[in-house]
Structures are given as structure tokens and as C-alpha cells.
Structure 1
Amino acid sequence: MRRFRLADQVIEEAAPDLQAALADAYRRKLRPLCLCKEPCPAMYIAQVGDQYMVKRMPLSGGSHDPSCSSYEPPDELSGLGVLMGSAIQVDSESGMAALKLDFRLSKVGTRSVPAVGAAGSDSVVGDTKRLSLRGLLHYLWHEAELTVSTSRWAGKRHWWNIRWHLVEAAGQMTVKGGALSEILFVPEPFRSADKIAIEQRRGQALAPALPPKSGPRKLMILVGEVKEFSPARSGHKLIVKHMPGFVFLLDESLQRRLQTRFESEIALWGSDEASHLIAIATFGLTPAGLAVIEEMAVMVVAENWVPYESAYEKKLVDALARTRERSVKGLRYNLPVDMPTAAAILQTQPRPVGLYVVPPSSDSAYQETLSELIASRPEFDSWIWRTADSEMPTLPGRQDGRRY
């Protein structure tokens, strides 16, 4: 349980008067201090609707104690490290992140040019300068803290709070000087009793994607859970959960390239009934009101909404979901698949542990780079699963009495 110092007052996160104290501190422009360790890391207060939240300062996650929920593993252990300061530029005062994207948010003309998100992620060249579509999805997921897992949260994540955290995270990001939240569409949970009101709100939210009378068409960004892909009379259509009766159209070429580029993700999703497939796509509306996808990427997540990219990582993610210690899943962002990263960080005491999953296809160059990565963070212990040689080793820490 976090404790904060607000001027001369110390207050716990679960205190009944926390919101009143935060509202007062927000008006007085006070910075809370997290009492997880000395020196106390400074934080800031964000207003989300009528609620106030204490959030860590940008780039300060490593200054918190590993047992603190504000702790964040070093960016260098995942694909995020190479993007900070270039594709992602964070204002240390406001906490706003300015993003540079490698995909278009406007379109001239009506002819669709099929594209698949993260197509350049197989190459290192240029990847650190701009975020791919898949990289943006990873960053949203990370900042929404949907990469975090603990056994105490079992069964407590549902689409309504997934959506809330994504929208809140997008509120701290800008693209081309404008708020990302203004062009991001995340469908709200559907309830048949509220069908008319939900569809009215959807129409208002999608208005920026309507074509103008002249000039380039603006595109919006969809983040939603895939229900199914199905053939259309021309091309294919994407059905998104919580959007009954609404379809997104895909060009035949785009659908074919999507199935090729994300073959592994779609296969992993198809092999596990509890997993979810998350789509991120740029789209616009035709004058007739049809939603047409221009570019798309997908990500598979486990039942607890934590991402994974192989059957080996799925086993690790499932084990971490049964572990009492807090863990943070590492993400690849724009990095190629043959570049080692920490699959996750387990926040054990007294030292956190970097968890590394070595694929069967790894060669000597991969092993050498992995060794350098581990050596670069001596303050972390390491756990390595060489998947070609053995079953998954037992995880460190408390595991609710189970063995994995």
C-alpha cells in the first residue's frame, strides 16, 4: 500500500479522505512524495474526470522501491529503451509524451493502398525514430499498466476497465501537436438496454473520420478486441467485440498481408479459447458511413490481458498470473524478433528479477547479446529459460503454494 507526503501531511492510498486531500494538493500545485524509499521520489497528480490520481513522474519508475506499485523496470530491458527521446519525447514537467509515428493519419484521395502495421519491425534501421502501429499499441498497453500482473488481480480485469485505462493513458500523449485521445476510438462495453445511447455516442466519437468536402481525409485509430474476420462481398470485414452491427472493411490485399505478417499471433489466438486478439488500425469513413481500414496490426493477450508472443511466453505469463509478487511484462515495440529483451520483470525482494525466454532458434549472436543485456543491469537478478534445453524452471518468489 503506497503512502504519500503532501506538504506536512502523510496519507495512505486507501485513506477515505484521499480524494479530498489530492484535490486540495492539485489546486495548490503540490507534488506528492512517495514514501516507498529514501530519497522520496516526486510524483504528480492527474485529474481524470472528477477523480484525482497520483502518478509517477516520467522516467522516474526506477527511483521507486521494487515493491512499490509505482516502480517501473528500466526501459533498456525492453524495446522501449531505444525509442525514448526519439520516437517518444516526454515532458518532465507535464508528463505529456509527444509521439512520432511512422504511419499516416491522413489520406489524399479514395484509393486504398494496403499496408500492414509494423511491417518494418523486421529491420532495425530507422526503427528508433518513429513508432510503428504495433509499437503504439505496445506503448498504450504499457502506459495503461496492462502489462502488470499479480495473483491478487485474478478475474478482476474486464473490458470496461481495460478501456478506461487505455483512454486515460492516451490522454497523456500527443501526436503532431494534438491529443491522441481525440483520434483514438476504443469501443465502450455494449449493453443491449443502452443500445441507442451507445450508438449515438459512437457516431459522435467517429465524426472526425468523416470525409471533408475537400482536402485530405483524416484518419482515426481503432483499438479493440477482434471477434472475427469474415469474407465480405468485396474483400473482408473485421468484427470488433462490443460493436454489434458495425463492421470495418479490409481490402483483399490488406487481409492477405495481415494473415501473413501476423500469422503467429493469429495462430496463438486460435489455439487458446481464453486469449484475446487486440487490433490497432487506422481507418476512415466513406461518405456512405462505411468504416474502411487503411493500416492494421494485431497483438495476442492472455486471459488477464497481458501480452505474449509465443507459446513459451504464454506459459510464463500464466505462471506469473498465479504469482503473488507484482510482475511487469516486457514488450518488443519496434524491435525485431531476433533481438533479446526481458520477457518480464518480477518485483521480488530484495532484488527484482529479469525473466528471459530464449527461443529454440537462438544462435551464438543472440546468446552474446543476451549476456551483454543481463550484464548491463547488475542490480537485477536473472532467470533464464532456454526453451530448447528444458522445461520452464521454477519462478522465484511466492507462488501461492504451487509449482510451475
Structure 2
Amino acid sequence: MRRFKLAEQVIEETAPDLQLALADAYRKRIRPLCLCKEGGLSMYIAQVGEQYIVKRMPMSGGGHDPACPSYEPPDELSGLGVLMGSAIQVDPESGMSALKVAFSLTKIGKRAAPSVGAVASDTIAGDGKKLSLRSVLHYLWHQAELTAWTSRWAGKRHWWNIRWHLIEAASQMMVKGGPLSEVLFVPEPFRTTDKTAIEQRRTAALVPALPPKGGPRKLMILVGEVKDFAPTRSGHRLIVKHMPDFPLLLDESLYSRLKGRFENELALWDADEATHLMAIATFGLTPAGLAVIDDVALMVVAENWVPYDSAYEKRLVDTLARLPDRSVKGLRYNLSPDTPTASAMLQRQSQPIALYVVPPSADNAYKEALEELISSRPEIGAWIWRTSEGEMPPLPFR
């Protein structure tokens, strides 16, 4: 059971007066301490409607006790490790993350769009200099704690709280010298009865994407669930769920590169009706009010919104979804499939266990790198599924 220290008050997270105490601390800007370890670890309070939630500071998860819900796997077990301190720089006092990105948020004239999903850093292992567009989506998903899951949450994760957590995570990030939240657009849940008000709020939110009278055009970042890619006379349009009346246009060249670069994600989406296909795109508005995509990347997530990269990982994610234990999905960011990472972390009180899924294509270099990765964190247990050898082995018992 978690306990928090608010100034001189110590309170349990199940206390009936917790919300009153958090509301008071929020108004007074008191930073809570999680008492899972001696001395406590700094947290912050977020407001969701009339409810207050205690959240961990960015990149502090590894410092929490493994039994604490705020614990997260070490960065070096995922693609996050090579990015910290270079592409991602975190201010320990404010918790703000400054992101160095490999894509543009301005556009001059009609220059050609970059390679879909960003630059070669999407496929070059260990390139930690800048974040690709997909890596920004991975970081948002991670910081929004959407990679975490326990079976107790079944049926409780919906688009409205996905959206809130993404926007909250973005409020703790800076990109191109400004707040990410100012250029990020995440569509709100669509309701026919509120259609006019939703359209008015969307129009106001997209003002930064309007073309200026002169100079470079500013781009915004969309994060939304793909409903369809529909052909047009000269290209395709992306239809995003919750925005059925607001298509985003892609020229034929960009759409062709999209199909090639994210062939795996599109196939995984087609293979499972419960899977969601997430898109992150930079876009601007034309003088006529049409949204035009400049760059785009895709990510597949399971029914519970936890990401996966292969049919093997989907099997693992589905199995973890049925467990009461908390699990955290690892993400690759800029790393290629040839670089071993922990697919997930199973959070057990006695010892956290890293779960590794070895692809059928793994060669000796991959296997040696995996052994080195496991031996680098001896305090963390290891479970390995060598997919070329057969069915997924049972997960470790409690």
C-alpha cells in the first residue's frame, strides 16, 4: 500500500480523505513524496476534472521500490537508454523533458516531405542524437504510463482517459524551444449531441496550424487512432477516429513510403480486429482550411492500448493482460529489431522480471548482445522466449 508525505502529513492512498488532502496540496503547490523508500521520492499532483492523481516525476521510476506502482524498468533495457541525456534531457527540479527531434515543425514553400516516420534513426541501432517522429509517440505513450497494465484495469481504459494522459504527459515536455502541449492535437471523443461544440473547440485548437501571410508555415502534431486510409483523386486521406468529418490529406508519394516503412504495423492491424492503429503526424492547414500531412508514423497497440511490434509480442501482451501483476511494456524508440531489448517487465514484489522475446531471425551477435544485456542487471530476473524453438514458455509463477 503506497503512502505519501504531503508537507508534514503522511497519508495512505486508500485513505477516505486522500482527495481532500491532495486538493489542498495541489492548491499550495506542495510536491508529494512517495514513501516506498526511505527518505521518499518526489512526485507531482495532476488534476483530472475534480479528481487529483499522484504521478511520478519523469524518469524517476527506476528509483522506486519494485513493489511500488510507480516503479518502472531501467532505461537501458529498452530503447530509451541510448536517448537519455542526448535526445531527451530531463530537468530534475521541474521534471520537464527537452526533446531533440529529427523532424521539422515548420515548412517553407512546397519542399518535399522527409522520409516517412523521420530519418534513418528509425532503423539505425544506437542513434541517440535525435528522436524520430515514432520515437516521440513512444515517449509520450511511456510517460503517459500507457505501457503499464494490470488485469484490474480491464474495461477501464477508454479514449477519453488515453487522451487525458497523453495531454498531461505532453505538458511535461518541450520541443523546438516551446511546450509540446501547444503544438499537440489529440482529438476528443466524438459525440453526435456535442458535434457543434467539438468542432468549435477543434477550430480554436488548430489556429497555430493556419498559414501565415508570410514566412514559414507552422506545423502541429496529431496523435490519433486510424480509422481508414481512403483514396482520393490525387493521393489518400487519413480518417482519424473521433474526427470523421476532418480528413488529413497525404500525397501519393508520402502514402507509398508510408506503406513501405510501416508494412509490419499495417499487417498486424489487419490481422487482429481488436488492435488499434495509432498515428502520429505533423500537419498544417491550407488557406482553404484543409489539413495536409507533412510526415507520419504508425504504432500498433492491443485491445488494452499496450503497444506491440510482432505477433509474438502480441501473444505476450495478451497473456500479461490477464495477470493481476503489474507489467510494463518496453519500447524500441530508435532501435532496430536487430538490437535486443526487454519486451516487457513483470513487476513482482520479490524481484522484477524482464521478459525477452527472441525473434526467429536472431543470429549469434544478437544472442551475445542479449546475454550481455541480461548480465548487466543481475538484480532483475530474466524470462526468455526463443520463438524459433517453439511455443511461448509459461510465465514465472509468484
Scaled by the length of structure 1, the TM-score of the pair is 0.95
What does residue range 236-247 of structure 1 map to in structure 2 within 5 Å? 236-247=236-247
Could you tell me how far 1:156 is from its partner in structure 2?
1.2
Deviation at 1:18, TM superposition (A): 2.1
Shift of 1:390: 1.9
Partner of 2:357: 357
Once the two structures are superposed, the pairs formed by residues 82-93 of structure 1 within 5 Å of their partners are 82-93=82-93
What is the distance in 2 between the residues matched to 1:218 and 1:41? 39
Q: Deviations over 1:188-236 (max 9, x none)?
A: 0000000000001111111110100000000000000000111001111
CA distance in 1, matches of 2:29, 2:294: 43
Deviation at 1:119, TM superposition (A): 4.2
Q: Matches of 1:283 and 1:314 in 2, distance apart? A: 31
Q: Which runs of 5+ in 1 are unaligned?
A: 399-404
What is aligned with 2:154? Answer: 154
Alignment match, 1:122: 123
1:83, CA displacement in angstroms? 0.5
Seen in structure 2, the aligned counterparts of structure 1 residues 280 and 200 have a Cα distance that, compared at 3 Å, is same
- What is the CA–CA distance in structure 2 between the aligned matches of 1:180 and 1:2, rounded to whole Å? 31
TM-superposed deviation, 1:32: 2.1
Distance 1:340 1:291 in 2: 38
Quickly say closer, same or farther: Cα 1:273–1:14, change in 2 above 3 A.
same
- Quote how far apart the aligned CAs of 1:27 are: 4.7
Find the counterpart in structure 1 of residue 143 from structure 2. Answer: 143
Partner of 1:115, secondary structure, is coil
Which runs of 4 or more aligned residues in structure 1 lie more than 6 Å from their structure 2 counterparts after TM superposition? none
- The offset of 1:47, in angstroms, is 5.1
Q: Check conservation: 1:118, 1:135, Cα contact below 8 A.
A: no
Q: Does 1:213 align with 2:233?
A: no
Distance in 1, matches of 2:68 and 2:225, equals 31
Contact 1:223 1:278 in 2 (8 A): yes
Q: CA 1:97–1:150 in 2, change beyond 3 Å: closer, same or farther? A: same
Counterpart CA distance in 2 for 1:243 and 1:344 is 32
1:55 is aligned to 2:33: no
> CA shift at 1:69, angstroms?
1.0
Structure 2 CA distance for aligned equivalents of residues 67 and 134 of structure 1 = 31
Is the 8 Å Cα contact of residues 352 and 381 (structure 1) preserved in structure 2? Answer: yes
CA drift of 1:43 comes to 2.5
Count of residues in correspondence between the two structures: 397
Contact 1:114 1:253 in 2 (8 A): no
> Which residue pairs with 1:252 in the alignment?
252
8 Å CA contact 2:125–2:339 kept in 1: the answer is no
Partner of 2:113: 113
Deviation of 1:13 (Å): 1.8
Deviation per CA, 1:270-307, whole angstroms, max 9, x where unpaired? 00000000000000000011100000000000000000
2:228 aligns to what SS in structure 1?
strand
Paired letter, 1:116? V
Residue 98 of structure 1: how far off its partner (Å): 0.8
Does the CA contact (< 8 Å) of 1:186 and 1:224 recur in 2? yes
After TM superposition, the structure 1 = structure 2 runs for residues 2-401 of structure 1, keeping only pairs within 5 Å, are: 2-46=2-46, 51-113=51-113, 115-120=115-120, 121-124=122-125, 127-397=127-397
Could you tell me which runs of 5 or more consecutive residues in structure 2 were left unpaired when the two chains were aligned. none
Q: Is the CA contact (8 Å cut-off) linking 2:102 and 2:118 kept in structure 1?
A: no
User: Shift of the alpha carbon at 1:39?
Assistant: 4.1
Query: How big is the shift at 1:10?
Result: 1.6
SS of the residue 2:328 aligns to: strand
Taking structure 1 as reference, are residues 58 and 202 closer, same or farther at Cα in structure 2, changes over 3 Å only? closer
The aligned amino acid for 1:239 is I
One-letter code aligned to 1:375: S
Say what the alpha-carbon RMSD is for the aligned residues: 1.6
What's the CA shift for 1:45? 3.3
- Percent identity (aligned): 74
Superposed CA deviations along residues 77-102 of structure 1, whole A, max 9, x for unmatched, are 00001101111111101111111110
Letter matched to residue 378 of structure 1: P
More deviation in 102-111 or 36-45?
36-45
Contact 1:355/1:382 (<8 A) preserved: yes
State how far apart, in whole Å, the 2-side matches of 1:24 and 1:138 are.
33
Post-superposition CA distance 1:220-259 (Å, at most 9, x none): 0000000011100111111000012111100101100100
How big is the shift at 1:34? 1.5
Deviates more, 1:220-229 or 1:176-185: 176-185
Name the structure 2 match of 1:401.
none
Give, in whole Å, the separation in 2 of the partners of 1:114 and 1:130: 15
Deviation per residue, 1:316-347 (Å, 9 max, x gap): 00000001100000000011110000000000
After superposition, give the CA deviation of every residue in 1:113-166 in whole Å (9 maximum; x if it has no partner).
Answer: 3530144122237x2011100000000000000100111111111111110110
Q: Taking structure 2 as the reference length, what is the TM-score of the superposition?
A: 0.96
Taking the aligned partners of 2:8 and 2:17, their CA distance within structure 1 comes to: 16
* Aligned residue type for 1:208: P
Q: Is the 8 Å Cα contact of residues 171 and 179 (structure 2) preserved in structure 1?
A: yes
> CA, structure 1 residues 24+245, in 2 after alignment: closer, same or farther (shift >3 Å)?
closer
Of the structure 1 ranges 232-241 and 42-51, higher mean CA displacement relative to structure 2 is found in: 42-51
